[in-house]
Amino acid sequence: PPSSPPGLTEVGGKALSLIESAASALPVPPGLVLTVNFFDPWLREATALPEWADFVGAGKSAGRDLCDAIKTVCAKTLVPTEGQRKVLDEALAKAFGAGEPGLVAVRSSSPEEDLVGSSFAGGYDTTLGVASDDLVAAIVASFVSMFDHRVVQYKLQHNMRVDAPRIAVVVQRQIASDVSGVAFSLNPANNCYDEAVVSANLGLGESVVSGIVTPDSYVVDRSKEPPTIVSKKIGEKDEAIFLGAEDGGTRKVKNDNPSAQALPDDRVLEVAALVGRVGELRGGAPLDIEWAYCGDELFLLQAR
């Protein structure tokens, strides 16, 4: 992380949380953030389009067709400027060292997303298992997702401006997860601050986050000494998402034993401890994280 931490308006909530977590020695995979300012050339190009004029002119009646028109044109035409390419190449080398960075995950980080009271419910784009040749396309996909109809409608419903879009993008080493999921520092079922809830499935966390499976759910009472698992519900984990081949992408696979516990008890307790540490970093405010195990190593992928 930089010596002078960036602000929310520069990097967005998702990236700022990762920067703060890494600075506190939490197990965040290496990566980089393309700031809001990095995308100024693309934003100028996008807002000069006739499709943008149509969108702004429609005001609160802007529909999916106008949003899709902007996204489609931008996805086809946006390429990095010479200055953007230089910044990106230098940032990749700093984050991952010389040579190819290997597979990465590319996630949007909006200054308006992941704030208290603001949740864009998956409207912004995430691309997993991105190979070097596909990196720019994935960054473009995250950029144009700020024009997504779901994002626009959310803003309109919450009296937020839609004519001044801003976005940053996180590029993070892709973890080849054996097991992953989410964890809550507070039990959302009863609002108990002493209980952490861990959800888990095999493979990448996308199957849990997107809701395509019913994951395992474990409740940990962190007020006990030592912390204790007080509830287990084994979900119907009939499939999982894993990384594809070395050239990137992901693949769905059937789970041969969906009734088996995805995460051993000792690792459930490790994840509960991790979400507790992140919560302490955030001053005790309720939060959730995305986590992953690769082999014996636990990683913090997101916190919000």
pLDDT in tens, 72-127: 999 999 999 999 999 999 999 999 998 788 999 999 998 886 444 445 555 688 99
The pTM assigned to this predicted structure is 0.91
pLDDT at 157: 86
The arithmetic mean of pLDDT across residues 243-268, rounded, is 92
pLDDT at 2: 46
pLDDT at 59: 82
pLDDT tens-digit readout, 161-182: 888 999 999 999 999 999 999 9
Q: What is the mean pLDDT of the chain?
A: 92
Q: What is the DSSP string of the chain?
A: --SSPPPHHHHHHHHHHHHHHHHTT--PPPEEEE-GGGGHHHHHHHHTSHHHHHHHHHGGG--HHHHHHHHHHHHHH----HHHHHHHHHHHHHHH-SS---SEEEEEE-TTSSBTTB--TT-S-EEEEE-GGGHHHHHHHHHHGGG-HHHHHHHHHTT--SSS---EEEEEEPP--SEEEEEESSBTTTTBTTEEEEEEEEB-THHHHTTSS--EEEEEETTSSS-EEEEEE-----EEEEE-STT--EEEEE-S-TTS-SS-HHHHHHHHHHHHHHHHHTTT---EEEEEEETTEEEEEEE-
pLDDT at 272: 98
pLDDT grade for 279, boundaries at 50, 70 and 90: very high
pLDDT tens-digit readout, 4-40: 678 989 999 899 999 999 999 999 999 999 999 999 9
User: Residue 60 above 90 pLDDT?
Assistant: no
pLDDT at 4: 67
The arithmetic mean of pLDDT across residues 210-215, rounded, is 93
pLDDT grade for 285, boundaries at 50, 70 and 90: confident
User: Residue 3 above 70 pLDDT?
Assistant: no
